Amino acid sequence: MFKHLLVATDGSELGNKALDAALTIAKAHGSKLTVLTSTDPISTGLGAGGMGTIDTGTIWASLEEAHAEQARNVLDAARQKAAAADVEINAIHLPQQHPAEGIIRAVEELGSDTIVMGSHGRRGLERVILGSQANEVLTRSKVPVLVIK
């Protein structure tokens, strides 16, 4: 355990706490550390609706770029924290993937032995007990999950 940590963050307060915990563990155990952020699939909700077709290409491209910029910002901040902690990281952005799905797939592909994540993300702050993505990862993961509150 703790040979290859995967930390999922969306840049939220709890995501940053999870990153801090993962950096501490990685440094103490000499672990490999992958930092992952994902951006959800884009849904514009626009369609013909009897009014003709709407070209959503420019809307789609703008949303894609906004998501990519957000991911770059999250991963750049993670790289800065990792450099300050003297921990080498692998940073991954998974575009158009629901977080839980991307986390589970990445763990399997990378061979990570532990997941570190916040109990809630940006969209899950209103959840009382556990965010939906954290709950799904806990339910589906085949490796230990450290949930940070």
Q: What is the CATH number of the domain that holds 94?
A: 3.40.50.620
DSSP 8-state assignment for residue 123: G
DSSP annotation of 41 reads P
**Verdict on whether the full-model pTM lies above 0.75:** yes
Would you say 124 and 132 are in contact if contact means Cβ atoms under 8 Å apart?
A: yes
Residue 129 has pLDDT above 60, yes or no: no
Helices (H), the chain: 13-29, 57-84, 99-110, 132-140
- The pair of structure tokens assigned to 56 is 């959503």
Q: Is 133 exposed, middle or buried (0-12, 13-18, 19+ CB in 10 A)?
A: buried
Q: What is the pLDDT confidence band of residue 103, given thresholds at 50, 70 and 90?
A: very high
* Burial label, 82 (beta-carbon count in 10 A; 0-12, 13-18, 19+): buried
For residue 15, is it within any domain? yes
Within-domain flag for 138: yes
**Closest by Cα among 138, 120, 107 to 32:** 107
- Domain membership of residue 85 as a residue range: 4-43+53-148
Question: Is there a domain that residue 48 lies in?
Answer: no
- Is residue 99 over pLDDT 60? yes
Structure confidence at residue 82 (pLDDT): 97
Query: Would residue 22 count as lying in a domain?
Result: yes
> How many domains does the structure of the chain reveal?
1
The residue that leads in pLDDT, 87 or 126, is 87
